[in-house]
Structure 1
Amino acid sequence: MADVRALPVPDGLEGERADAALSRLFGLSRSRAAEIIAAGDVLLDGRAVAKSDRLHGGGWLEVTLPPPPSAPRPVAEPVPGMSILYEDDDVIVVNKPIGVAAHPTTGWTGPTVVGGLLGAGHTVATSGAAERQGIVHRLDANTTGAMVVAKSETAYSRLKRAFKERRVDKRYHALVQGHPDPFRGTVDAPIDRHPSGNGRFAVVAGGRPSVTHYDTLEAFRAASLLEIDLETGRTHQIRVHMSAIRHPCVGDLLYGADPTLAARLGVRRQWLHAVRLGFEHPTLGDWVEFEAPYPDDLDRALEQVAGES
């Protein structure tokens, strides 16, 4: 069923192109916003707009949003390379390999953590959307490392709350180009979808508050190994913030990494790994921490960049 929204043009969107404004208002990609406009489903003061029309102050917007596509259900099949770091009756902690999404989404046809656990005979919580069984946080498909999944309904609700209230310690290691100055610092910059609508995110005025703390563990000739502590958990947050300070993750071509360096080190994705995860156990109450060793591709690249220094 379509969702009809009617509202005045927000002050911050005066003078914006209609497609860009729609993207920011409803979290759509720029191309999806253009499709909705082309279908005649965006009216300004009662008249259909073109994607390049500019919104004016005091105008009245009427937007008919199509129903979201139903997400696919997880396919229960084992995921090669996904190891179990810890398991009890309430939680299971995995070391997620490359090329595995947390859960099914529209357009993703690859393996998922949920499907892999179900395929290997593990039980997961059934709370939440069917495609997100047990999922309380996510890692990008090509970001590896420690990830916890809820097995019991109690664990699901308590872990979701813990992540929302930032009572979880999430530590990442990232190999970034160059040498951040200062060696230890904080990036506090709001993040939202990139105006281009090509699936990227960016530092955007008026975006969601996002805070990343980093500390240099080791500096090499061409790159630096950082430990990163996330205060917030936005999509692509580390990748966006490192790119914003001109030190993108090695291999992260989507966010401006040098393809020559990536090729020399044999890195075909962002050098980013969730190395440690700590949280209060949802039923025992004890603080627990888990560490995930680097996968082979990141380990080899780190050895090579260290050997070149």
Structure 2
Amino acid sequence: MDRQALPYARNGEWLSVAAADLLLYAHNAGIAVSPIEAGSHPHHVRIWLLALGLFPEKWLNRLFSIGGIQMDEGMVRLRNFLPGDPVRDEAFRIAQHTLPSASASVASVPTDIETPAAEALFRDDWCLVMDKPAGMPVHASAPGQRGTLDEAAARTGLLHGDPQPAKHIHRLDDDTAGPVLYARNELAQLRLDEAMRAKVIGRQYAAVVQGIPKRKSGTVNAPIGKDRHHRSRRIVTPGGDEAVTHYETLETYRGAALVRLWLETGRTHQIRVHMSFLGHPLVGDALYGGRDAILRHQALRGEQLTFRHPWSGSEMTLQAPEPAWFAEVRRRYASL
């Protein structure tokens, strides 16, 4: 039995899984574990769960410390679906205080904030994928900042009557559109963070670049670090962090090209820096040498996000719709 075949039930904050199903999972994985007795003390349930190897030790220990492990009538109950904390989570607190009317989009921001709407591409008990528009920051850069994707993500759950928090697993630049993955509980966050470290979350992008790359496809393996002469810029430098970008040319225009890109790493401004390093800065990206006559920000969008579901382990693929502004840039170059 894999995680995909492991059924669960949710009752408010509690996750319930049959002890028999957990035992079968362990046996099928080659783990020798004895059955646990009904009514076992939470300490013994924790030790038994650790022996299964299915759940992170850090998570189980924290649950035990808050009385979040129980055994009842053959069901293991884990207090996994805790609500967001408005004291520690400012985005959650702002979302609570600025809930729109029932007729509004589930992720729209208050009308007094001049920010495009963000929509949910996927949502369940475990994770959330938000389609971030260009111009919306993922998180606040100053206390009290409104109109962030984090706020929209928290509001999405609240409007569905589910006050779980939403913690972003990766980020996009403010002016880059595309899907962003969120964890909706601590177990999901631990597993998705580990997936990011293991580089098994796939991120596919599309960009319109100046000029036409000499090679139809290729890989840029060039370390990226801060530019000590410009606070906001990043540069390719021998002392920088490892950065690997793969690209493929999809369409060519007069003096520009549409390219698809995949990231192995996630450095700040990575695609923008690497394409500029190749001599093909993104259209609209004035910071890295791109002309901005057609567009006032980089012509870059996330197309697709792939990851394994943090509970079931099933492969998830989410496509983001093409923004109208990106389609217009392509149309204008195609008409030259």
Q: Give the alignment's TM-score, normalised by structure 1.
A: 0.69
Indicate which of 173, 189, 204 corresponds to 2:206. Answer: 173
- One-letter code aligned to 2:185: S
**TM superposition shift of 1:159:** 0.6
1:216 & 1:294 partners in 2: Cα distance? Answer: 17
2:187 & 2:258 partners in 1: Cα distance? Answer: 37
Higher-Rg structure is: 2
Other structure's SS at 1:174 match:
strand
Q: Pairwise CA RMSD of aligned residues?
A: 2.0
Asked whether 1:99 is paired with 2:135, we answer: yes
Is 2:201–2:306's contact at 8 Å kept on the other side of the alignment?
A: yes
Matches within 5 A, 1:204-215: 204-215=237-248
- One-letter code aligned to 1:288: M
Asked whether 1:89 is paired with 2:122, we answer: no
**2:13 alignment partner in structure 1:** none
- One-letter code aligned to 1:301: V
Other structure's SS at 2:192 match:
helix
Other structure's SS at 1:86 match:
strand
Is 1:213–1:228's contact at 8 Å kept on the other side of the alignment?
A: yes
1:300 & 1:177 partners in 2: Cα distance? Answer: 16
**1:159 alignment partner in structure 2:** 192
Deviations 1:147-176 (A, max 9, x none): 111112111111111011101111000110
Is 1:72–1:105's contact at 8 Å kept on the other side of the alignment?
A: no
**TM superposition shift of 1:109:** 4.1
* Structure 1 runs of 4+ with >6 Å offset: none
Other structure's SS at 1:140 match:
coil
Other structure's SS at 1:143 match:
coil
2:120 & 2:89 partners in 1: Cα distance? Answer: 25
1:101 & 1:164 partners in 2: Cα distance? Answer: 23
1:204 & 1:124 partners in 2: Cα distance? Answer: 44
1:95 & 1:190 partners in 2: Cα distance? Answer: 29
Deviations 1:237-264 (A, max 9, x none): 0000011111001000011112xxx32x
1:72 & 1:143 partners in 2: Cα distance? Answer: 24
Q: CA distance change for structure 1 residues 135 and 219 in 2, over 3 Å: closer, same or farther?
A: same
- One-letter code aligned to 2:147: P
- One-letter code aligned to 1:226: V
Q: CA distance change for structure 1 residues 164 and 306 in 2, over 3 Å: closer, same or farther?
A: same
Asked whether 1:73 is paired with 2:90, we answer: yes
Count of matched residue positions in the alignment of Structure 1 and Structure 2? 227
Other structure's SS at 1:288 match:
strand
Asked whether 1:234 is paired with 2:270, we answer: no
**1:217 alignment partner in structure 2:** 250
1:142 & 1:124 partners in 2: Cα distance? Answer: 29
